[in-house]
Structure 1
Amino acid sequence: MSSPITCHVLNTVSGTPADNLKATLTLLSRSTTGLQAGLSFNAVTNDDGRVKEWAAAEDGTTLNAVMDKYGQGDKIACSIKFEIGAWYEERGTESFWPEVEIKFYVKKGERHYHVPCLVGPWTYTTYRGS
């Protein structure tokens, strides 16, 4: 089963995928079924700048299990944080952003959430992808 939340990061300076970029997905709000706020899942973007799967949380919980558990109609605030500053520094470029954090809602019944991010050392933008 593929992840219900994926992302894609592109480097606007070079027009290429932001590969090997650390990302953290965090649940920011509690659901009515008792999901814990603060539960986090980590990943690193692949060669195409994508995260297709997230590692299980420290307690072993998977993102798929979380998404299967929460109640119909629940709306949960989430965040994806990208470690942009360190990523650009590793490539010899200074960045204004130490990190870029995108906050969004997920709702039960939605089949998939894709969160693209276009990043540069001085700017970023995002949208709900498909």
Structure 2
Amino acid sequence: MASPITCHVLNTLSGTPAAGLKATLTLLSKSTSAETNVNFHAVTNDDGRVKEWSSPSSVTLSDIMERFAAGERIPWSIKFDVGRWYEEKGIESFWPEVEVKFYVKKGERHYHVPVLVGPWTYTTYRGS
């Protein structure tokens, strides 16, 4: 089963996918049905995409989502390590990291978070 949360990062400086960019997905809420400070990690693929997230434990993102009630709005964050990523390419970045916070409503279609990032700017939106 595909992850309920995916993302895609494009490097606006070169107009190419941001391959090899570290990302951390974090559950932001404390709920009676789920724990807080749950982190998942990924590195964008050659196309700048994250399709699956890994966790140090055996808990999956789908497992966490199942702990919430239908229709519940769940706050999440994705942090992208853009500062280090640009530095590895010899480019100075204004951003040490870019963080996108968003809600996921349990029971809706999957959520896709596209991000356009450059050394001096970034933008995002809810994708499909």
Q: TM-score under structure 1 normalisation?
A: 0.95
**Paired positions, count:** 128
CA contact (8 A) 1:31 1:71 kept: no
SS of the aligned residue for 1:88 comes to helix
Aligned: 1:43 with 2:42: yes
In the TM superposition, what is the alpha-carbon distance from 1:13 to its structure 2 partner? 0.4
Distance 2:67 2:127 in 1: 24
Between the two proteins, what is the percent identity of the paired residues? 70
* Equivalent of residue 104 in structure 2, options 96, 103, 106: 106
Post-superposition Cα deviations, 1:64-118, rounded to whole Å, max 9, x if no partner, equal 1112221112111100000000000000100000000000001111120000000
Aligned: 1:31 with 2:53: no
Partner in structure 2 of residue 14 of structure 1: 14
* Equivalent of residue 87 in structure 2, options 61, 86, 89: 89
4+ long deviations beyond 6 Å: none
Distance 2:106 2:32 in 1: 12
Distance 1:77 1:64 in 2: 15
Give the RMSD, CA atoms, in angstroms: 0.9
Post-superposition Cα deviations, 1:37-73, rounded to whole Å, max 9, x if no partner, equal 11000000000000000002x3321101112221112
- Which consecutive unaligned segments of at least 5 residues does structure 1 have? none
